[in-house]
Amino acid sequence: MLAFTKMVRFQGLLQSRATLLLIRNYHKQPIKVVWKKPEIGWIKLNFDGSRGREGQASIGGIFRNHKAEFLLGYSESIGEATSTMAEFAALKRGLELVLENGWTDLWLEGDAKIIMDIISKRGRLRCERTNKHVNYINVVMPELSNCVLSHVYREGNRVADKLAKLGHQFQDPKVWRVQPPEIVLPIMHDDAKGKIVLRTK
């Protein structure tokens, strides 16, 4: 009888926990995500890495001004790499283009939080290839007049995400200086209007 009583109480406990979890998830509100324009005189780089089949990776990024106007975009395959390596490679490539164009006031934004953690803490990774990217970034960023690095959810980084995935198709690096590829134009238009994208996860 005692064992039966314990069993009933235990089942009741499980049911109440399951109910609480269901209620908690049911009431979880989606997060509103918006791509934000930089201030006047600043340039914003959104960057991203993509990992495809058999560990092959590619990178992409886009530069826009305070009016959300296109300045430059890039996309390329980088061969076999981890997702973390691809994220750092995307930022490194973006900074190379920053130096080539003489830009000094930069807002750098990506959707991989590990980038912010490692850069802010001056951390090191086990992979030496990735550490080379990190070292380059740590040298270049302080040399810019103004430079901020921030994290955004993937929903606010959709153009860079699309360009990174596009890189899987290319054998040679691509840089767009006048007009971006048509595939990203609708997303750029949404960003410029301040369209809210809901994040449900």
**pLDDT tens digits, residue range 167-196?**
999 999 999 999 999 999 999 999 999 999
Q: What angle in degrees, to the nearest 10, is found between the helix axes of 113-121 and 83-101?
A: 70
> Between 187 and 117, whose confidence is greater?
187
pLDDT at 126: 79
d(CA 112, CA 177): 26
pLDDT at 7: 44
- Cβ(108)–Cβ(147) below 8 Å: yes
Q: CATH homologous superfamily for 33-199?
A: Ribonuclease H-like superfamily/Ribonuclease H (3.30.420.10)
| pLDDT above 60 for 1 | no
Calculated CA dihedral for residues 59, 63, 64, 69, nearest 10 degrees: -80
Average pLDDT of the chain, as a whole number: 89
In percent, the amount of the chain with pLDDT more than 70 equals 86
23 falls in which pLDDT band (50, 70, 90)?
A: low
> Between 21 and 79, whose confidence is greater?
79
pLDDT at 17: 59
Domain regions of the chain by residue span:
2-30, 33-199
pLDDT at 14: 46
Report the run of H or E that residue 192 belongs to, with start and end: helix 185-193
Mean pLDDT of 90-94: 98
Other CB atoms within 10 A of residue 67 CB: 9
